[in-house]
Structure formats: structure tokens, C-alpha cells
Chains A and B, each alone.
Chain A
Amino acid sequence: MDYNQKIEEALTIIWEEREKKISDKGAIVKRFLKAVNEDVSDSLLSEGFVLIEKDIIKFSNKGESKARDIIRRQRLAERLLMDVLELGRREVDSSACAFEHILSKEVEESICTLLGHPKECPHGLSIPPGECCEKTKGLIESIVIPLTRLKVAETGKIVYVLTRDHPQLHRLMSFGIVPGARIKLHQTKPSVIIQVEETQVALEEDIAKEIYIKKLS
């Protein structure tokens, strides 16, 4: 692993720890040692990526934006591998790490658009939005789209369900609305009606928007 990769890995670690509300230097260095076999905190400091005060390690502005880019690419790569190439969780975890280092900005935006500007990685962690997400209208048509973008009588395969609200997700799942299920859109107004296997379910639009599917021809 070269120097740059180690730095990037270290930035990823700090980001992930911050999502868990951890900024304790000791805990973070412990993870550095595990992942890259050395304490890179001094290098990070001299590169100007982090600020260290007592036992707290924090991103500088420069480090924040670099980490954000890396995390975004890594999590987009996970989505790509999982949703489009349909690889299993284990393959995804090992390949995505390598992937993130070689993605260019342009390729990253194309992937993001292709995937319908996903908001979460397969593990349920949030993907930092990029410029393309705000513009949304890309030239490339997304492969993974929210259910509401499907046309009536078209069929699709559920890729993921975005909602974090447990009772709601649970209800959807108990009707068979789970990743992998084939659905057919019956109508969109006055309510969205879909068919999953032999079950017909009516949904309000806000819920339908959170169900992401891959269109089947």
C-alpha cells in the first residue's frame, strides 16, 4: 500500500468514526494500526488534513472535503457492485475499497447518475451528495430509479427500499416488497398500486418514491 492509499484509508477511518460520534485519538489510531499498520496521524497533520487538540482528532477543511470525496466514491462503488452487478456482500466489501482509489470525478458522476443519485450505501450509511445530485438532470438515464418513475404496466425488480422507519419498512416487507422481488406498476393515480407476486398493494406516493427499482424490459 503506497503512501497516498494509506492517507486515503486513514481519512476514511476518521469519517466513519465521526459517523459513530467518535473523535477520540486513541481509538482512531488503534484502527490506523489495524488497517495500514502504522500511526499516520503525524503525516495527516503535516499534510494539513487534520487538526489535533489534546486527545481529539478533527478534519481540517481540506481534509473534510478530501474525505468526503473518498467516502462518496467508495459508497457509490458499493452500490454499483451490489445493485447493478449484483455481487454478494463479501465481494462488494473487498472490491469497493480498491475501486474508490481509481475512480475519476467524471466516472463518479456518471455512476451516481446511473444509480439514480442514491442516498445510502448498502450498509445504510449516507452517501455525501455530489454536484450531479443537485443538478439531477443528467444526460445518462439512470438504471436504478424510484418506483414513481416507472410507467404504468411496466415491470421492475426492487433494488433497495430507502426508508429508515422500521414499522413502515416492516409493513412493506411483510407484503413481499423486498429487494429482489419483481413488481408490476398498475397505476399511479389517485394512489400508486403495484403487484408483487400475487399481492396487490396500494401505496401513497411518498412511500413509492423510497422504493428503488431496476426496470425490466
Chain B
Amino acid sequence: MNIVLVGNANVGKSVIFNALTKSYVTVSNYPGTTVDISKGITKLGAQPFTVYDTPGINSLIVHSEDEKVTRDILSKSDIACVVQVADSKNLKRSLVLTLELLELGLPLVLNLNMSDEARGRGISIDVKKLSQKLGIDIIETVAVTGEGVPKLKEAILKAKAAHPLKVSATASFDEIASLRKKNQKIEELLRDVLRISKPKAKSISEFVGSLTVGPITGIPILIVVLFAMYLFVGRLAAVWGVDFFENTIFGSYINPFLSNIIDRFIPVPVVKEFLMGQYGIISMAVTYAFAIIFPIVTAFFLFFGILEDSGYLPRLSVLSDKVFRIIGLNGRAILPMVLGLGCGTMATLTSRILETKKERILVSIILTLAIPCSAQLGVIMAMLSQFSLRAFLLWFSTILFAIVTIGFLSSKLVPGKRSPFIQELPPMRFPQIINIIVKTGARLKWYLKEAVPLFILGTSVLFVSDKIGLLNLIERVLSPLIVAWLHLPKETTAAFIIGFLRRDYGAAGLYQLARAGALDKIQIFVSLIVITLFVPCIAQFFVTVKERGMKVALMIAGFVFLFAFLAGGIIDHLLRYLILVKGIAVL
């Protein structure tokens, strides 16, 4: 038997899901956190149920792909109960969906979540009366604290097929007309149910919220946030954190301990080299994954989690709408882009929240081309922050320039149109520390599960190619590209090869080379530009194939590959000219 959770965006379906199933799916404070179905198991009474968490919908008449996912699951057979999760402070809006769900005639429970926020705003709802009028059970909850969840479970078990409340008087399904009728019906339903006492003075959350999107205050706040992220991820974690993990934990304890054991118990030189050599599983894969990237992504996920839960991310769409219009998108596109800083794979899925096909393709191109993922970004910040903030800003503007030009050109080439910008802004909230920690933990677990096997695979490939001389051959074949065109040492070839598996792994390889003194400033900068613009990692590529189709994905990847090396070379020649010929200290 199935239980399906549905509701408007950002009402807390995922929190309810976690509470019902005792599992964890990501919870944040912005519409569009969930873009795919999550499935979990729960036991109510003695009976096992499968619970589905779904992307938010405002109506069963859907416009974007994430909404379609939700509508499709409602046509599943064997639904024991549909639970509509609703935001108590937006009861009127929620009831539009309730009326539509009633028409489906499925067993329905209405869950009024965030009832604490509604009470705080002077909104009181006569639940009993509304429940009688609608003929379904209504349960109030505060899901983040677990208040009301046991009652919700009881109600789900008791839920019986709802009696459809007739609203569509005409047989024709004119959506607008039927919506008007629903709104009238809702006014009628709420007449003696909803009471709003005098609104109180502007709260702090509203005040902060308005500052973050204000015409004068918005941009300075954004710069402060970005700079704080640079300090936290790029300086604190990437320099101090990596140093601690690599030199203290791995350098002084783990590696000596392991090499001691290996020396003593594994006398075969090839195996020893496979574990601890130049391309060794432990010396390379495990060290990169745990010593270099792990501290960086931990810091990033912590910082990012705070941004997500505060409600700041959707506000960025207000600031960026005008810029995105140049490249054929609207402000909503900022969400997948910013999420791409976390992980391009997840972000490609989030492009579902965009309405038109053109917008989704454009976002996929930019995500593939120019948005570095957290691990890669951290490594890049660490490398650049070693010479100057100016170098970091130069890198940042180069990438931004690439996004705008390529975005602009592709918006002219990709057929279709831009959808207008309409974005709901959730209230600003103070992040709950426990959720940040749980979320960061879940993401780290996912990172390790996805990255470590690929790191090991990449290292094995390098090890074998090195042993049979293939690596040498590739280095020689690519030498015109890497050495002559980009002026990089041939050792960087290995970094680019593993970059095909994961870009952060490639970046980590460059990081090691830079620290070993094998790269000069210009070479570091150029190699970072190339690895940033480089092909998507394998996982992102597969998701792009799944979402956009093989043809589009291949075209994007091929273009990005050419563009990365082209742009890298041009920048290399430009920098060499400016620095070596003109003597201008650009970096």
C-alpha cells in the first residue's frame, strides 16, 4: 500500500517524509529542493506502507517537469492515502490543491504544517469546522519539532475515500474558469473558519529578507556572503583544514602506519607500488579523497546548508533576473546554478524547475561548461588564494565572462522561448543547527560513496597505463595540445585524464603538482581555467543524457571540451604577453 505526500512548494513535505519514515531526504528553505520522487518505508499499526515524497505542485494542472513527476505518481494504483501537506499561513492557496485532490476521490488527509508560524502571525484556523465542511481529517503539525506527527499517523490509517466536492459546474475543463470557481468555493469554505487578528509589526525575518533583495542593500550583502564563503571554504578549510588532514592525520599517522604494515606484510613490489606509489590507491586516491577534498567539501556543505535553510537562495533570483535575461533565462535559473556549486549532477536534475525546454538546455550547457562543483571550487580557491585575492577575482571574472558570452550565443542558437520570471520568496528563517549537521552528514556520505570508487578506478587506470607505457604515449600524443598550446608540463596530462572521471579529482592532481613546485603562476592559472571549463564528470554527463537526451548531451560535452582548451590557450598567450612582455603584474 502506498502513501503519497503532495502539496505546494516549500511547505515541508520532506520534513514530514523524514518524520514518517525515519529516513533522511534533503530539507531546505526554498521551493524546488525536491525535484524527484523519494521512496521510504514506514509501519503504521502493524501494516507496512511505502511513502512517496514528491516535488511541490500548486495545482494538478502542471507546467514544469518536476510538477509532472508529482502528477504522474498520483495516477499510481494502490494508494492507501494521499497526504496533502499545506502551509498553515497560506491556507487559502493550499485549498486550491485540496479541491482538486478531492475531485480525484482518493482517500485524503490534509496536514496543516508550520502551524506555529501561522499562530505567530495571528492566524487562527477552526480545524474542526473546516474538517466537517471538506469531509476529510485535518491534522495540524509542526514537523520540524515532531509536534502532531503521531496524530497524523493515526489519521492516515483511518483515511477513507474522500467524497468529491463538486466545484466544476461545467463539463468543459477550462482551467482558468475552473480556478475562478474554486476560488469562490474557497472563500465560502473559509468564511467562518479562518480568523486573522491584527498583523503585528514587521518581524526581524521580514526586515532581513527585504534587505537581501533591496536595490541598494542586495548587492553588498551578496558580496559579503561570497567573501565569507571564500574565507570559510577557500582559506580556512582549503588551507588550514587540508594542511591538518594531509600533514598531521595522513602524513604523521595513517600513511607511516600503513606503509609500515605494507612493507612488512606485502613483499611484492608491484602490489606495494599499486598501493603506495606515484599512482597508488592509498597515496593518491585515498589521500586526494580524504585529505584534500574531504575537508573542503565539508566546509562547503556546512556553509551551503546554512544558506539553503535561511531562505536566502531564492532571493538571489531577484538580484540576478536582469542578468539572466541577457542570456535567455530568468532569475529562477540561479537556483540550479548555485546548486551546481554543490554538485553539477544534482543541479542538472534541479533544472527541471524551469518551465521551457530552451531554458533547461541553456542551464545544462552552463552547468557543464562553467560551474565548478564544491570540491573543485575549493581546490581552485586553495590554489589561487596562495598567490592573491586578485588572482581569484581574475579567475572569477574569466568564468563569468565565459558564462555570459556562451549563454548569450547559445540563447540565440537554441530555439524556444524564455518564460517570465515569477518566483515565490519563502520567509527568512534562522537555520536549525541540527538540520544543517544532519544534511551535511548525508551529503558527505553521498560524496564518499560516489567519489571514492571513481577515484580508485581513475587511479587504477593511471597505474595500469603508466605500467604498460600507455600514459607516456598519451602524454606524447597530447603534447602539442598540453605543452605547445597551453605551455603546461606534460605531467598535467594525467590530471586532465582523471578529470574525465571527476573534475575535482583532476583539480586535486593539479593542486599536488602546484605544491610540488612543478607549475609556475601562469601555468597554475591556465590549468585552473581549463579544468574549470573542462568536460562534465561522468556522473553529471549521465544525468545530462537522462534529462536532455544523448544527442544534446554529446553536443554539449564536445563543445565544452573544445572550448576549454581554446579558452585556456588564449588566456595563456594573453597572460604571457602581459606579464612577460609588458611586465604587468596581472596575477
Q: Which residues of A contact B (CB under 8 A)?
A: 166-176, 178, 180, 186-187, 189-191, 193, 197-204, 206-207
Taking a contact as CB atoms under 8 Å apart, the answer to whether A174 and B96 are in contact is yes
A-B interface, 4 closest residue pairs, ranked by CB to CB distance from nearest = A174-B58, A204-B421, A198-B89, A200-B425
**Given A176-B90, A206-B420: A170 and B425 within 8 A (CB)?**
no
The docked-state distance in angstroms from the alpha carbon of A191 to that of B61 is 27
Taking a contact as CB atoms under 8 Å apart, the answer to whether B210 and A187 are in contact is yes
Contact of A187 among B61, B213, B330 (CB under 8 A): B213
Contact of A191 among B63, B89, B93, B321 (CB under 8 A): B321
The docked-state distance in angstroms from the alpha carbon of A178 to that of B59 is 15
The docked-state distance in angstroms from the alpha carbon of A143 to that of B504 is 59
Taking a contact as CB atoms under 8 Å apart, the answer to whether A202 and B423 are in contact is yes
The docked-state distance in angstroms from the alpha carbon of A174 to that of B421 is 15
Does B92 sit at the interface, judged by CB under 8 A? yes
Nearest-CB residue, chain A, relative to B332: A202
The docked-state distance in angstroms from the alpha carbon of A167 to that of B417 is 14
Taking a contact as CB atoms under 8 Å apart, the answer to whether A174 and B318 are in contact is no
Chain B interface bracket (under 10, 10 to 19, 20 to 34, 35 or more): 35 or more
Q: Which residues of B contact A (CB under 8 A)?
A: 8, 58-59, 61, 63, 87, 89-90, 92-93, 96, 121, 123, 175-176, 179-180, 183, 209-210, 213-215, 218, 317-319, 321-322, 330-331, 355, 419-427
Residue among B89, B96, B121, B318 with max Cβ neighbours from chain A (10 Å)? B318
Nearest-CB residue, chain B, relative to A189: B215
Given contact pairs A169-B176, A190-B215, A201-B422, enumerate 11 new A-B contacts (beta carbons under 8 Å). A166-B176, A170-B175, A172-B422, A173-B179, A175-B93, A176-B92, A191-B213, A191-B318, A199-B93, A200-B427, A203-B422
Contacts of B421 in A (CB 8 A): 191, 202-204, 207
8 A-B residue pairs with CB within 8 Å = A170-B61, A173-B176, A175-B93, A176-B90, A186-B210, A202-B422, A202-B424, A204-B422
Nearest-CB residue, chain A, relative to B330: A204
Contacts of A186 in B (CB 8 A): 210
Contacts of A200 in B (CB 8 A): 209, 424-427
Rounded to whole Å, the gap between the CB of A208 and the closest CB of chain B is 10
The docked-state distance in angstroms from the alpha carbon of A170 to that of B100 is 14
Nearest-CB residue, chain A, relative to B209: A200
The docked-state distance in angstroms from the alpha carbon of A193 to that of B210 is 9
Taking a contact as CB atoms under 8 Å apart, the answer to whether B92 and A167 are in contact is no
Nearest-CB residue, chain B, relative to A204: B421
Nearest-CB residue, chain A, relative to B356: A167
**Given A169-B176, A197-B92, A199-B90: A175 and B424 within 8 A (CB)?**
yes
The docked-state distance in angstroms from the alpha carbon of A202 to that of B214 is 12
Nearest-CB residue, chain B, relative to A198: B89
Chain A, interface SS category = mixed
Contacts of B175 in A (CB 8 A): 166, 170
Contacts of B213 in A (CB 8 A): 187, 190-191, 193, 202
Residue among B58, B61, B93, B321 with max Cβ neighbours from chain A (10 Å)? B93
Contact of B90 among A172, A173, A197 (CB under 8 A): A197
Rounded to whole Å, the gap between the CB of A179 and the closest CB of chain B is 8
Contacts of B209 in A (CB 8 A): 200
Contact of B214 among A168, A180, A187, A207 (CB under 8 A): A187
The docked-state distance in angstroms from the alpha carbon of A207 to that of B319 is 17
Rounded to whole Å, the gap between the CB of B55 and the closest CB of chain A is 14
Taking a contact as CB atoms under 8 Å apart, the answer to whether B90 and A207 are in contact is no
Contact of B319 among A169, A190, A199 (CB under 8 A): A190
Rounded to whole Å, the gap between the CB of B117 and the closest CB of chain A is 9
Contact of B322 among A167, A173, A190 (CB under 8 A): A190
Nearest-CB residue, chain A, relative to B8: A174
Rounded to whole Å, the gap between the CB of B46 and the closest CB of chain A is 39
The docked-state distance in angstroms from the alpha carbon of A179 to that of B80 is 37
Contacts of B59 in A (CB 8 A): 170, 174
Taking a contact as CB atoms under 8 Å apart, the answer to whether A198 and B121 are in contact is yes
Rounded to whole Å, the gap between the CB of A139 and the closest CB of chain B is 32
Residue among B8, B179, B331, B424 with max Cβ neighbours from chain A (10 Å)? B424
The docked-state distance in angstroms from the alpha carbon of A170 to that of B426 is 20
Taking a contact as CB atoms under 8 Å apart, the answer to whether B218 and A190 are in contact is yes
Rounded to whole Å, the gap between the CB of B193 and the closest CB of chain A is 15
Rounded to whole Å, the gap between the CB of A171 and the closest CB of chain B is 5
Nearest-CB residue, chain A, relative to B123: A198
**Given A203-B421, A204-B421: A187 and B215 within 8 A (CB)?**
yes
The docked-state distance in angstroms from the alpha carbon of A169 to that of B183 is 14
Contact of B93 among A174, A190, A203, A207 (CB under 8 A): A174
The docked-state distance in angstroms from the alpha carbon of A175 to that of B421 is 13
Taking a contact as CB atoms under 8 Å apart, the answer to whether A176 and B423 are in contact is no
Contact of B423 among A173, A174, A198, A201 (CB under 8 A): A201
Contacts of A198 in B (CB 8 A): 87, 89-90, 121, 123
The docked-state distance in angstroms from the alpha carbon of A207 to that of B421 is 8
The docked-state distance in angstroms from the alpha carbon of A168 to that of B356 is 12
Rounded to whole Å, the gap between the CB of A163 and the closest CB of chain B is 9
The docked-state distance in angstroms from the alpha carbon of A178 to that of B184 is 11
Rounded to whole Å, the gap between the CB of A99 and the closest CB of chain B is 24
Rounded to whole Å, the gap between the CB of A200 and the closest CB of chain B is 4
Contacts of A207 in B (CB 8 A): 420-422
Residue among B87, B319, B321 with max Cβ neighbours from chain A (10 Å)? B321
Taking a contact as CB atoms under 8 Å apart, the answer to whether A202 and B318 are in contact is yes
Residue among A169, A178, A190, A197 with max Cβ neighbours from chain B (10 Å)? A190
Contacts of B87 in A (CB 8 A): 198
Contacts of A174 in B (CB 8 A): 8, 58-59, 93, 96, 179
Contacts of A172 in B (CB 8 A): 422
Rounded to whole Å, the gap between the CB of B209 and the closest CB of chain A is 8
Taking a contact as CB atoms under 8 Å apart, the answer to whether B425 and A202 are in contact is yes
Contact of B420 among A168, A176, A197 (CB under 8 A): A168
Contacts of A201 in B (CB 8 A): 422-425
The docked-state distance in angstroms from the alpha carbon of A199 to that of B8 is 12
The docked-state distance in angstroms from the alpha carbon of A60 to that of B426 is 57
The docked-state distance in angstroms from the alpha carbon of A118 to that of B121 is 37
The docked-state distance in angstroms from the alpha carbon of A135 to that of B419 is 31
The docked-state distance in angstroms from the alpha carbon of A180 to that of B180 is 11
Contacts of A204 in B (CB 8 A): 321, 330-331, 420-422
Nearest-CB residue, chain A, relative to B88: A198
Contacts of B322 in A (CB 8 A): 190-191
Rounded to whole Å, the gap between the CB of B219 and the closest CB of chain A is 9
Contacts of B331 in A (CB 8 A): 191, 202, 204
Taking a contact as CB atoms under 8 Å apart, the answer to whether B318 and A190 are in contact is yes
Contacts of A191 in B (CB 8 A): 213, 318, 321-322, 331, 421
Contacts of B90 in A (CB 8 A): 176, 197-199
